Amino acid sequence: MPDWSYHGIFKPVLSVLPPLVAREFIHRGMNTIASLPFGLGAHIINFLGREESSPLLHKEIQQIDFKNPVGLSGKIDPMLTGTMAFSNLGFGFLEIGPVTWKPRESRQQPIKDNKAKRIDFPEVQPSVGLEKTIDKLRKLTKKQPIFLRLSGSSQEVERMMAELEPYADGYIVENMDAEFRRYTNKPIWIVTSSMTELSPIKLSSFDGVVLEEKTGDFELAETVEHLRQRGYKKTIVTSGGISEPWQAHELMRAGADLVLLSDGYVFSGPGLTKRINESLLGVMERPAPVGNGWYSYWLFGLFILLGGMLAFLFGVTSIVLPYDEHFLGVKKEEIWLFNERIMLFMAHDRLTLAGTMISGGIVYMQLARYGVKQGLLWAKQAIDVAAIIGFLGIFSFIGYGYFDWLHLLFWLILLPVYAYGFIKTRGLNGTPSSSNLKNDSVWKKGVYGQLAFVLMGFSFVVGGIVISYIGVTSVFVATDIQYICMPPELLDSFNQNLISVLAHDRAGFGSALLSVGLLVLMLSLWGFQQGNKWVWWTILIGGLPAFITGILIHFLIGYTTFTHLFPAYVAVGLFCGGLVLSYEFLHKKVETNIG
């Protein structure tokens, strides 16, 4: 669940529910999506949130590979209702628990303080018990190290270790006086929230320490730094104390190896993990990006842009081309004489297609120049998905019996250019970095701006699918018939091939809109990092041709039915709102020189 959906859609609803009800509602919903068969749920989550980690963030600690240093505290999901979902949300590791020998209820409820942006968790957390925990772990497709927090007497912890050994990468224990080393060779970390418990002698029995934030107790960064200054060399993990990315920087600068998110994750949103990882990457020294093949992708976009301009030229001059006349068996002058609105309607479809192609070409070129050239995997994948859908869309042109050679020639020119870029960029694995460090007003407005762009992209995708379907089935909607002032039967009686040509135009526009909609959607989902002003300019410059052409042609030909243009008006509203709200976020790059 990325920030744009959490803050823009779900959080307003969840905030009015009791904390436990809200927690279980959202966790069960996320888990349902993650549990979809054939890995579909994981793909949906990745598509919406894009949570992969850069190899530069990988850490090996105690012979365990952590993809990134950010984990999730078990306090967020003590009943394990969201475990499967959390395994797909980009965490470097997960704390699961507390695990107890038998199920345990808590008499206290978490106290949520919205003003202070913190949650006071009960001293005794609830637990589903050992048996149900094992059942959950058995079904879990493990994607990161799992550390099990064990709670109970020394004897219970020992027995639980024996049962949980196949599922655990390590353990977090609460009993400092017990000796558990003889029961496992996996890392054992001791958890504490009190300075008085940090005795070097006691700590030496464990492989690491989990410093847990607690109201009115010690300050985490100072405690970490104090431990390191005392010569503590083992693993230090902090739990809590992070609601903004800069706080994670500070803890790691002080000497923390890993951090666990707790209540900050609830208030800042699930995107906090990604924001921390991207900001950590932003302060690292990185090798020069390798984007071999980007120029071929850029040429691919340029050819689409030029093709759109050529289509625009035809649309404002002849409208009907010689091969159209050959297929129809009549000259365009005869169509003008029969019903001039048929020609205007055809110009309307062909010019909206031209504007969409020009916009798509611009977005392709920008993704190649600023994404693929910088080695970003998401930019390559956005181009690949949209291009392949675009190539497949050629089959929709013949859904109603008409296929013109110009479209085929155009695709034959584009295909080798695209294929070369696809092959040359197969090794890309770069992930984005960000300068975002705070939950300030700039970031909050940016979240809502991103939501507007995502909704716009979704609307284009849905519109493209609907228009393509109409193009290969009924061809016309009710307002089309009202504008043309003739039923399809009369058009067919005039020329049996006329509807096939109109369907070809309609399906072609739908296919192009679907492809460009996917581009806009993926750019909005995956490219929204603070300081990426090229994303803002891409959406602005890329959107203008499609919107201007698509709306202006309707007024020029007198096809201004409100219900027909209403989706376009909504899209323009999202376009303008997104540009205004995201401007400062995408243009204001913060200096990430922490540490």
Single-letter residue type at 431? T
Mean of per-residue pLDDT scores for the chain = 88
Q: Cα angle vertex 514, ends 509, 519, to 5°? A: 125
With helix as H, strand as E and coil as C, how does 429-445 read? CECCCCCCCCCCHHHHH
More confident residue, 290 or 152: 152
| CB hemisphere CA count around 119 (13 angstroms) | 25
pLDDT at 523: 96
Q: Cα angle vertex 135, ends 131, 138, to 5°? A: 135
- Structural domains in the chain plus CATH codes: 52-282 (3.20.20.70), 294-587 (no CATH)
pLDDT at 197: 59
pLDDT at 216: 45
pLDDT at 17: 77
* Mean pLDDT of the 260-283 span: 90
Dump the DSSP string for 7-65. Answer: IIIIHHHHTTS-HHHHHHHHHHHHHHHHT-GGGHHHHHHHHHH-----GGG-EEETTEE
Q: In terms of C-beta density within 10 A (0-12 exposed, 13-18 middle, 19 or more buried), how is residue 333 classed?
A: exposed
The mean-pLDDT minimum among 300-309, 458-467, 584-593 falls in: 584-593
pLDDT tens profile 277-297: 999 998 887 776 666 789 999
Query: Residue 218 pLDDT > 60, yes or no?
Result: no
Q: Quote the distance between the C-alpha of residue 49 and its chain's center.
A: 3
235-239/118-120 β-pairing: unpaired
Is there a contact between 263 and 242 (Cβ–Cβ < 8 Å)? Answer: no
The C-alpha atoms of residue 107 and residue 124 are separated, in whole angstroms, by 8
- Cis peptide bond prior to 98, omega within 30° of 0: yes
pLDDT at 198: 63
Query: Residue 559 pLDDT > 80, yes or no?
Result: yes
pLDDT at 595: 45
The C-alpha atoms of residue 247 and residue 282 are separated, in whole angstroms, by 15
* Mean pLDDT of the 545-554 span: 95
118-120/111-113 β-pairing: antiparallel
Is there a contact between 294 and 372 (Cβ–Cβ < 8 Å)? Answer: yes
pLDDT at 556: 94
pLDDT at 13: 80
The mean-pLDDT minimum among 387-396, 404-413, 564-573, 585-594 falls in: 585-594
The C-alpha atoms of residue 579 and residue 147 are separated, in whole angstroms, by 43
